[in-house]
Amino acid sequence: MASKKAEGSAGAYTEESIRSLDWKEHIRLRPGMYIGKLGDGSSKDDGVYVLLKEAIDNCIDEFTMGFGKTVEINIENGKVEVRDYGRGVPLGKVVDVVSKINTGAKYDSTVFQKSVGLNGVGTKAINALSDYFMIQAFRDGKTKIAEFSKGELRKNEREKNTDQKNGTLIAFVPDAEMFGSYHFNSEYVENMLWNYVYLNVGLTIVFNGNKYYSENGLLDLLKRNLSDNPLYPVIHLKDKDIEIAFTHTSQYGEEYFSFVNGQHTTQGGTHLAAFREALVKTAREFYKKDFDPSDIRSSVFAALSIRIQEPVFESQTKTKLGSQAVTPNGPNLRNWINDFVKTELDNYLYKNPAIADAWLQKILQSERERKEIAGIKKLANERAKKANLHNRKLRDCRVHLNSREDQALESTLFITEGDSASGSLTMARSVATQAVFSLKGKPLNCYGLTKKIVYENEEFNLLINAVGIEEGMENLRYNRVVISTDADVDGMHIRLLLLTFFLQFYPDLVRNGHLYILQTPLFRVRNKKETIYCYSDSERLRAIEKLGPKPEITRFKGLGEISPDEFGNFIGKKIRLEPVILSQDTSLHELLDYYMGKNTQERQDFIIDRLRVEKDIPLPA
């Protein structure tokens, strides 16, 4: 009886159970297969940026083939326009290339060599996931326009005469049904565009009237992204299809920018692994000593770009390279990169002894520090494993970033203060993708201290083991690490201390866009019919005006006061996350010294100039 009931509850599996989805239905039903995740634009890997990237990639492929040196991009009120001056889509295929899967010119390697996109899926994804999508091709004095909505053809105009230059214009408005109240973060967009021009010397991108251009490729990329002075001038080596640039800094960790055919491979892959191996091999042979790999790469700041034929990526979002060969059935990719680095870097070091000595001194410094903390580190890691076994600090989730599951990009760790806040979060979270780490008391101000403190301080050591970045970004367990503290003075102080910790010892976590601040509501305004959560005083006033006279107003003083049922509203689909972004001209040393160093007159003046007294602060109505 039990087995029959179970069988019946599962539903009958018949011919009617088999469905055939058309291209747009499949993209909208399984967007993760095409753009990684949806999101609202608060994370740099959210889907709206993938849509933008897919539109730009086609322009870059035209430039790479020698057609069109300028790309114009405008984003205003959620609408995106991307115009190139390449060859232009053949007019008779304008509709097909954006609405028929397995249709495009990327299958013809003579037309597009070493391009980013190979499957012709990108523009179809934009089309299917946009409330409005338009493509206009300009070709040899003729133009044609087609318009769509959510992948459905709405307008297919006839060819007309035009005096505009050859090329293609794509315009789209992402579908709010899919992306919610999305927005484009200008810093994320600008960083994306800078990467395009660094990798395509001679290309000009004009974004909302601002021009982006690079003359020196990866050398310009490193100089723009270095937050502090390097220990020696950037080493810049390049050949036809490979370019590297690197130096060492005084910061902790390793930081890499890796690219394949102009695509930013944020999760690395075979090319980055080969480059890291090549650095170690070359240094060992040049200095004639078997240094530990971690000492050779400690504090490295590097960029790598390669161009290969028919690259194999591990997903449609192309963030990790899986290729093993430079060309199909061609040379081994790892050997190719190793040979280039070994030859060119070895020659460079011989010709520049001062730079070679500076790198050697950095290796020796890292070796001394590693040996100094080796014993402490071993004991600390044993404590961390024991603590995790007893579940004292971490309530883990099922899916992690380093897994291959579809939900990996949603993996999130909330860092909370105290048991009450962590308790509410734990009960409200998604067990599949959301983990909670509970702090005990205020963390230590670690500015100016060495990494030894990470292993001597139990809270820090347990936290780093939970995040998985003890040995670098390769083992990062969560895509989003979220500081979740109360919106009061103590909460702000804890937030600042945690920011100091990550910036001091793990700045690559921040620079790679993984650190966030959780925004939780300050007020709840409600009447018998409706409840509105408000994140600022201005939102509170608007809610009062909307709900009419004398609504009930609650001021949340801490996360522990928010019930688990309510918390579910704030960490689900409507979660508000503020990314921690370091502007390109930020010096980490100056930033941390100003806020966390010795009390200076400059900081005192800053506080006094911005002081607000209690009588000036409006009270809730």
The mean per-residue pLDDT over the stretch 64-84 comes to 94
Q: How far from the centroid of its chain's Cα atoms is residue 473's Cα? A: 13
* pLDDT reading at 318 higher than 90: no
Beta carbons within 8 Å of 282's beta carbon, 6+ residues apart = 341, 342, 345, 346, 349
For residues 489 and 288, what is the distance between their CA atoms, to the nearest angstrom?
54
Q: What pLDDT is attached to residue 119?
A: 43
* Nearest-angstrom CA–CA distance, 278 and 284: 10
- Give the C-alpha separation, 276 to 305, whole Å: 13
Q: Which residue's structure tokens are 């309530």?
A: 395
| Window from 202-211, 287-296, 410-419 with minimum mean pLDDT | 410-419
Which helix (H) or strand (E) element contains residue 306? strand 300-306
pLDDT value at residue 109:
47
What domains can be seen in the chain, in order of their start residue? 24-212 (3.30.565.10), 218-369 (3.30.230.10), 391-520+556-585 (3.40.50.670)
Question: 111-120, 417-426, 460-469 — which one is most confidently predicted on average?
Answer: 460-469
pLDDT, mean of residues 302-312:
89
Residue 334 CA to residue 324 CA, distance in Å, equals 7
pLDDT at 385: 67
Determine the pLDDT at residue 245: 95
Report the run of H or E that residue 386 belongs to, with start and end.
Answer: helix 353-389
pLDDT at 621 over 60: no
Instruction: Please state the φ and ψ torsions of residue 235, each to the nearest 5 degrees.
Output: -85, 125
pLDDT band at residue 104 under the 50/70/90 scheme: very low
- The pLDDT > 70 percentage for the chain reads 88
- How many of the other CB atoms lie within 10 Å of CB of 607? 8
DSSP letters, 89-120, are --GGGTTHHHHSTT-SGGG-TTTSSS-S-SSS
- Between residues 125 and 384, which one has the greater pLDDT? 125
Strands (DSSP E) contained in 468-593 are 480-484, 515-519, 523-526, 531-534, 552-555, 576-579
Mean pLDDT of 233-260: 91
Within a 13 Å sphere around the CA of 202, how many CA atoms are in the beta-carbon half? 8
| Tokens standing for residue 527 | 């009447």
Is residue 6 pLDDT above 90, yes or no? no
Percentage with pLDDT > 90 across the chain? 42
336's CB contacts (< 8 A; 6+ apart) are 242, 326
CA end-to-end span of the chain, whole Å?
Answer: 62
Q: Is residue 471 predicted with pLDDT exceeding 70?
A: yes
The confidence score (pLDDT) of residue 84 equals: 96
Q: Is residue 110 over pLDDT 80?
A: no
Q: From 70, 52, 51, select the one nearest 62 (Cα to Cα).
A: 70
The Cα diameter of the chain in Å comes to 82
The mean of the pLDDT values for the chain is 85
Q: Which residues of 359-479 form beta strands (DSSP E)?
A: 394-395, 412-417, 434-439
Q: What is the pLDDT of residues 168-191, one digit of tens each?
A: 999 999 999 998 889 999 989 999
338 CB-side CA count, 13 A: 14
Give 527-575 pLDDT, tens digit per residue.
988 988 888 888 899 999 999 888 999 888 777 778 888 888 888 877 8
pLDDT at 3: 47
Residue 5 predicted with pLDDT over 50? no
pLDDT exceeds cutoff 50 at 393: yes
More confident residue, 446 or 10: 446
Tokens 């007020």 map to which residue?
A: 523
How do strand 412-417 and strand 434-439 relate by DSSP bridges?
Answer: parallel
pLDDT tens digits along 578-603: 888 876 666 667 777 777 777 667 77
Residue 4: pLDDT band with limits 50, 70, 90: very low
Contact between 580 and 518 under an 8 Å Cβ cutoff? The reply is no
Q: Residue 537 has which token pair?
A: 């005083």
Neighbour count for residue 616 (Cβ, 10 Å): 7
**How many residues does the structure list for the chain?**
621
* C-alpha radius of gyration, the chain, whole number: 27
More confident of the two residues 282 and 440: 282
